[in-house]
Amino acid sequence: MIQFTNVSKIYSNGARALVDINLKIDNGEFVFLVGPSGAGKSTLIRLLFREEVPTRGQVLINGKNLLRMKEREVPHLRRNIGVVFQDFRLLPSKTVFENISFALEVIGVGKNEVKNRTRSALDLVGLASKENVFPNELSGGEQQRVSVARAIVNNPALLVADEPTGNLDPDTAWGIMDLLYNINKRGTTVVMATHARDIVDQMQKRVVAIEDGKIVRDDQRGGYGYVD
Ligand code: ADP
Ligand code: ADP
């Protein structure tokens, strides 16, 4: 489903974030991206949902070349990719329900279906009772659950997450990992950049390690493998 072929990303300030990356990720995989700060993990994640485009090489998602994709096709791509960030990025003036339903309304889903799908996403993340609350009334872990619900409400084939547990204490982090694990079990591909050693070591999923913009390790079932 995801194929990077000789992908390089050089930012306009000259930073060589990714250098000649070749990577293939199949449907349904769970992949951790690990590596030191500045290695290129976020850049790789941002290429996946076309927040950035590669300087060289080709990023294919389900056969679609993201570089050649027209601007008007980008919303359609994004609809099929859920994104979770370290800092949640919820809209502060919208309720929990609205933060999630928004993603459906913008694509023209009917009112009743919006309600049903939003509620079922909220059920999945265990926040059914909080639908009318505003983000700042929630704990960090709850806010991240809302952002996971928002990411999956469209039933995306791919969920990408950039340090989703980076702002959470270990117990809360495991709650989020539980959600991602179950979302992956239902068939969604998950790609997650992380520094959470314990999580990577315990889950024994595919681990792609990046250093200085290059893939230095790709283990089918691996551990964190860094001292940092
Ligand atoms: P990581 O997520 O592993 O910390 P990043 O992908 O954020 O790595 O960064 C890789 C390199 O690219 C770093 O040298 C970083 O400073 C640089 N970089 C990242 N984003 C930008 C940007 N928007 N503009 C310029 N340089 C960037
Ligand atoms: P993360 O901790 O998720 O890896 P970073 O700290 O690398 O994120 O980057 C945080 C934000 O700052 C990103 O949105 C990235 O685009 C931007 N950024 C990172 N490095 C640079 C840089 N050298 N120049 C400009 N923007 C940067």
**Per-residue pLDDT reduced to its tens digit, 2-33:** 999 999 999 999 999 999 999 999 999 999 99
Q: Ligand 1 within 6 A of 40 CB?
A: yes
Q: Which ligand is nearest the CA of 212, by number?
A: 1
Task: Work out which ligand 1 atom sits closest to the CA atom of 11.
Answer: 25
**Per-residue pLDDT reduced to its tens digit, 108-123:** 899 999 999 999 999 9
Q: Ligand 1 within 6 A of 15 CB?
A: yes
Mean pLDDT of 166-181: 97
pTM of the model: 0.90
**Per-residue pLDDT reduced to its tens digit, 31-59:** 999 999 999 999 999 999 999 999 999 99
Residues 142 and 179: beta-carbon distance below 8 Å: no
DSSP 216: E
Per DSSP, the residues of 106-151 read TTT--HHHHHHHHHHHHHHTT-GGGTTS-GGGS-HHHHHHHHHHHH
pLDDT band at 68 (very low <50, low <70, confident <90, very high): confident
Q: Ligand 1 within 6 A of 177 CB?
A: no
The Å distance, Cα 161 to ligand 1 centre, comes to 16
pLDDT recorded at residue 106? 86
Q: Ligand 2 within 6 A of 15 CB?
A: yes
pLDDT band at 228 (very low <50, low <70, confident <90, very high): low
**Per-residue pLDDT reduced to its tens digit, 189-219:** 999 999 999 999 999 999 999 999 999 999 9
Residue 5: enclosing H or E segment and its boundaries?
strand 2-10
Task: Work out which ligand 1 atom sits closest to the CA atom of 9.
Answer: 12
Q: Ligand 1 within 6 A of 166 CB?
A: no
The Å distance, Cα 9 to ligand 2 centre, comes to 14
pLDDT recorded at residue 57? 96
